[in-house]
Chains A and B, each alone.
Chain A
Amino acid sequence: MKKLMLDKASNLLLGLIIPILIVACMEMVSRLELTTSQLFVPPKLILETLIFLLKDGELLRNLGISFLRVTSGFLVGVTGGLVFGAAMGMSRKFEEYVGPLFHALRQIPVLAWIPLLILWIGIGEDFKVWFIAVTVFYPMALNACAGVKGVSKSYLEVGRVFDLGLLKRVSVIILPAALPSLFTGLRLSLSIAWMAVVGAELVAASEGVGYMMYRSRMQLQVDTVLVCIMAVGLTGYTMSLALGKIELFTLRWRRTDS
């Protein structure tokens, strides 16, 4: 037991070495004024800026706006992807009709949708939410399709033998069996959603974390930019941790598997 704790402690320390080195480097370089490069901002300044922005409420306000956009777009896109992907998985005919077009459109890198969407919906809230939804739709649909297709034939036969109706089969057999794949899709979609919101806010927004980064960049405020980056990373990470916890809870029957 002691060894385990010692191991964990030493792992933690090792992991911190390089970050600490980087921070120390930055401190030294800015103190000695070795370079005029914008990157080497004294860490103390970053900390001060962070506190200031938090107190000011500006960071939290913009973060909140981005968070709302992510959540809305995520929900819309994930639901659409889930339904579409599940349909493709369950019905061969549907997949044959829709598949080629689906895969063709999938080849388009998500960022390429921005100009098109802007021309069609403008640069308001709708645009951000729909853009996020579109980017999230594909990974979710793919995972949903794979998950549904992967449902063990054995279980499907049980459904047939006991004469279960379609709704029962989906809710009691197919969805639970596909759940692990669905969660993989959700996790992937979450990180893509954050990327999408930052992208959208960099080019077409007047609020939100991405916009904050854009404006600070224009004003040459590296410290603010770095604070925003950390904020986004942290929020994304926390959300995916939460998702992980939900996954563990939903799949709790797995823990009892012999």
Chain B
Amino acid sequence: MKAEHVMHKARGLVVPILLLALWWVIAWNRWVSPLFLPSPEKVVATFLSLLGEGKIVANLGESLSKVVKGFLIGITAGFVLGLLMGLSRTAEKLLGPLFNAVRQVPILAWIPVLILVFGLTELAKLIFIALGALYPMTLNTFDGCRQLKREYLELARVFEYSRLRLLWRFTLPSALPSILAGLRVSLSEAWLLVIGAEIFFKTRGGLGDMMWEAKGKVRMDVVFITIIIIGLIGFLLNQTMTLLEKRLLRWRGTN
């Protein structure tokens, strides 16, 4: 049984290894210009030198601080909005249509407006990132609130629970899976938009900016490195969120 398992996993490595080998061969023979495809050794060497210069850590920290700030703002606002619309039908009717209409607009389209209103500032970028985190959070919180089963609602009414009690004991716990899923999606949206912000707002700092600069100087090796790091961080953020989700849900014992 175990051997089969190992073989399954091993199959997954075949293609990446083949590609790596192909990459190395192409670069070695210079079949493609090194501007297009730097050799693996160059990429590693550049990585190590950048690491030594502290550039990677600095830019990484910059991006991470943005994502954390924007994420927190976005999910707070999103949670409040989603809760409001989820709990009150009136609020849903008031805010819903506008929210859905605004949601039709791709987030990137707001960039020019944000720049015009707030200038090329950190604030503009933060709002941008927060906006991205807001949508999924609102939707998921809203969905979660609406998920409360009828039976519980009636139970609470029979026992004449106060509104607050209903919220705390029934609505929120049953909304928890949705909310946690919303957190996860919001975080990956936020990370995506951090990179976007750094590319589109064209100011200094961050991995996105590092990548854009490298593009300008046609430093493909740096571009490769930044892509890998960005992907890796995105993956780690996602995994953290998933773990958190599993932990919390196990605690609550939701089905």
Contact = CB atoms under 8 A, between A and B. Distances in A.
Asked if A pairs with B, the answer is yes
Interface of A: 10-11, 14-19, 37-39, 93, 96-101, 104-105, 107-116, 118-120, 191, 194-195, 198-199, 202-203, 210, 213-214, 216-217, 220, 222, 225-226, 228-230, 232-234, 236-237
Nearest to A110: B192
Given A97-B14, A111-B196, A112-B211, A119 B223 contact: yes
Interface string B232-254: 10110010000000000000000
B72 to A, nearest CB: 19
A114 B216 CA distance: 12
Given A100-B12, A217-B115, A225-B116, A15 B98 contact: yes
A192 to B, nearest CB: 9
Contacts of A236: 104-106
Interface in B81-114: 90, 93-98, 101-102, 104-113
Contact of A109 (B12, B19, B111, B195): B195
Contacts of B170: none
6 contacts: A15-B93, A16-B97, A96-B12, A109-B230, A198-B106, A228-B109
B220 A18 contact: no
Interface residues of B, number: 56
Chain B contact residues: over half helix, strand or loop, or mixed?
A: helix
B109 A120 contact: no
Nearest to A213: B112
Contacts of B218: 119
- Which interface residue of A99, A111, A202, A216 has the most chain B CB atoms within 10 A? A111
A233 B35 CA distance: 39
B223 A225 contact: no
A110 B188 CA distance: 11
Contacts of B3: none
A199 B200 contact: yes
A105 B220 CA distance: 18
Nearest to A38: B116
Contact of A229 (B12, B19, B109): B109
A116 B106 contact: no
